[in-house]
Amino acid sequence: MSDNEIVNLDEQHFIAAGAFCKCYQHPTDLNRCIKVPTSNKKAKKRHLADLKYYRKLHKVKVDLKYIADYFGQCETSLGAGYAYQCIRDHNGDVSQTLENYFKDADAEPQKIYPLLQKLGRYLVENRILISDIHARNILLQKNSQGEITPIIVDGIGDRVAITVLNISPKLAISKIIRRWNRFSRKELDSNAHIT
């Protein structure tokens, strides 16, 4: 696809929507999705902050095995779009959100909590800040053996006015733990906390 080619998106490509963006399947690449900002006043600012944080992660070569990667901006028939990794199961289906998993009558939360603790520790070890973490932003990717990998698809970065404090490893780690534990208390069992 050339840099100036417009990606044609319509409702058949729609995956999900949030307050600040709508997510669409890339029409020619199943491993990518495109986020298109909504008309919300804060949408553009949030996306620019996200892109700045992804540039930082790419620059220092952080291992993004638990984060949906960002590939760049593109023009779409719905306006400016941002291409991200589309998280899919081994069978090609878009992976289920943690939120939907917990709504399933057959859900086994006790199997998920250790995976989420591992995800929390990964964020701390790599000093990856999270600003908007909730069960809708985590997908549970299944491989052919039925093993699950939780992957964060949105809410990465730090959307605060003063980010200079994040230079301190101790302060950044403290912030990551505090935010993760708040998420855990709100949406998960206490077993998913990190300390």
104 and 41: one domain?
no
Structure confidence at residue 133 as a pLDDT band (50, 70, 90): confident
Final residue belonging to a domain, choices 60, 85, 110: 85
| CA 10 to each of CA 6, 15, 34, 55, 186: distance values in angstroms, whole numbers, following the listed order | 13, 11, 12, 29, 35
Strand partners, 22: 17, 36
Query: Which pLDDT does position 117 carry in this prediction?
Result: 92
SS3 115: helix
| CA 20 to each of CA 16, 39, 44, 104, 169: distance values in angstroms, whole numbers, following the listed order | 11, 8, 8, 26, 30
* Overall average pLDDT of the 68-95 stretch: 95
Query: Residue 137 phi/psi, 5° resolution?
Result: -95, 5
Query: Residue 18 phi/psi, 5° resolution?
Result: -130, -170
CATH of the domain at 45: 3.30.200.20
pTM: 0.88
Of 37, 18, 15, 40, nearest to 26 by C-alpha is 15
- Asked whether residue 91 carries a pLDDT value surpassing 60, the answer given is yes
The CB-side HSE value for 1 (13 A sphere, CA atoms) comes to 16
26 and 102: one domain?
no
pLDDT in tens, 92-121: 999 999 999 988 878 888 889 999 999 999
User: CA quadruple 28, 34, 39, 45: dihedral positive or negative?
Assistant: negative
116 and 61: one domain?
no
Query: Which pLDDT does position 128 carry in this prediction?
Result: 93
186 and 105: one domain?
yes
Structure confidence at residue 192 as a pLDDT band (50, 70, 90): low
How far is the C-alpha of 26 from the C-alpha of 146, rounded, in Å? 26
56 and 115: one domain?
no
Task: Let me know if residue 169 belongs to a domain.
Answer: yes
Mean pLDDT (the chain) is: 88
Final residue belonging to a domain, choices 27, 59, 85: 85
Q: How many domains does the chain have?
A: 2
- Asked whether residue 19 carries a pLDDT value surpassing 80, the answer given is yes
pLDDT in tens, 28-73: 999 999 999 998 888 888 888 888 899 999 999 999 999 999 999 9
Task: Let me know if residue 1 belongs to a domain.
Answer: no
Domain housing 173:
96-192
- Asked whether residue 190 carries a pLDDT value surpassing 60, the answer given is no
138 and 70: one domain?
no
